[in-house]
A and B are shown apart, each in its own frame.
Chain A
Amino acid sequence: MRPIANTRSAAGIPTGRLAVWWVLASEIVIFGGILASYIMNRLSHDWWADYAANTSTPIGAFNTFVLLTSSLSAVLAHAAAERGDGKLAARRLLYTIAGGGVFLCVKAYEWTMEISHGFTISANGFWSFYYTAAGVHASHVIAGMILMAFVARDAAKNAELHRVELVGIYWHFVDVVWIFLFPLLYIAK
């Protein structure tokens, strides 16, 4: 049985892709709300700069590198899917999943270090935002990895190749969110 709604087009683009854009529009409000709240609090609490000084720029930069690279493999998977090479697309999606795994491992190490130094989610406003923003983002990374595993499984059999692009668009968005989180949490000190 094939899903019927995701490949037809009623709005100029495939309905599945339109659905992804709708999801991202709602995600903009979710992440935008968190980031906007953080920015207004950060601007009105000068001393948060002292707290921010405890985040590790090298770790944040390394994770930015990992996510940018995982986005490259996602878009290369899309390119492979477009020319009908499902096996290559699946392999490249697996590289992206691996990138997500590295990102989460680094994050786990980073949080462990910070929590062991007493910087917990309830330490103060800065750390509350830090764990909330990065935590919501990390949950999106996990969701993307799971979705990508299903898409890769089908793509390896040359089935549902259009989904490679759809899951890629979502992954790039998660990358864009991190592009803004990185300077906000790691650079502005």
Chain B
Amino acid sequence: MADHAHEEHSEQHYIRIWAILLALLVVSILGPMLEIQAVTLVTAFGIALVKAYLVVKHFMHLNVQPQYVTYLLATALVFMLLLFAGTAPDVMKWEGQHWSKPANERPASDAGGSHH
């Protein structure tokens, strides 16, 4: 009986987390309507982080796995950041100390022929 009560509680817990996720979804849609860049960043990407945290913790139960599982996933994230750090300068900068991109790779050429 006690077990049954516990299970009911845990199902209610999942439904509560789902309701919070939906509320956060609404905020992430309404936030950018204010058209303030800082608010858009916080409501769109800040809330995405919170939603991901809630899903990972409460639905995937990462917090009750052995610690090394978190390290395993974190290692993959670090590799993703390494990829970003290693390639972003090439993509995001148009010139550096001893190099510059050819004219056909510069912003103006990319804008051509793309509007529909």
Binding site for B on A (CB under 8 A): 11-13, 17-18, 21-22, 24-26, 28-29, 32-33, 36-37, 39-41, 43-45, 47, 50-51, 57, 61, 64-65, 68-69, 71-72, 74-76, 79, 82-83, 117-119, 123-125, 168-169, 172-173, 175-176, 179-180, 182-183, 187-189
- Contact check, A183 vs B18: say whether CB atoms are below 8 A apart: no
- Contact check, B72 vs A40: say whether CB atoms are below 8 A apart: no
Given contacts A64-B25, A175-B55, A187-B40, contact A45 B110 (CB under 8 A): yes
Q: A22 CB to closest chain B CB, in angstroms?
A: 7
What are 21 A-B pairs at a CB distance below 8 A? A11-B66, A21-B73, A29-B76, A36-B80, A36-B81, A36-B84, A44-B93, A45-B107, A71-B18, A71-B55, A75-B14, A75-B59, A76-B11, A76-B14, A124-B110, A124-B114, A175-B55, A179-B52, A180-B52, A187-B28, A188-B32
Nearest B residue to A44 via CB reads B92
- Contact check, B83 vs A33: say whether CB atoms are below 8 A apart: yes
A65 to B56 CA separation, bound complex (whole angstroms): 17
- Contact check, B56 vs A172: say whether CB atoms are below 8 A apart: yes
Please indicate the chain A residues that have their CB under 8 angstroms from the CB of B68 in the complex.
11-12
Given contacts A32-B83, A172-B60, contact A43 B92 (CB under 8 A): yes
Please indicate the chain B residues that have their CB under 8 angstroms from the CB of A36 in the complex.
80-81, 83-84, 88
Given contacts A32-B76, A68-B22, contact A74 B28 (CB under 8 A): no
> Interface size (B, Cβ < 8 Å)?
51
State which of A25, A65, A169 has its C-beta within 8 Å of the C-beta of B60.
A169
Contact indicator per residue, chain B 72-113, by CB within 8 Å of chain A (1) or not (0): 110111011101100110011100000000000001001101
| B1-54, CB < 8 A from A | 3, 7, 10-11, 14-15, 18, 21-22, 25, 28-29, 32, 40, 44-45, 47-48, 51-52
* Smallest CB-CB A-B distances: 9 pairs: A32-B80, A124-B114, A183-B44, A118-B116, A28-B76, A44-B92, A72-B18, A25-B76, A36-B84
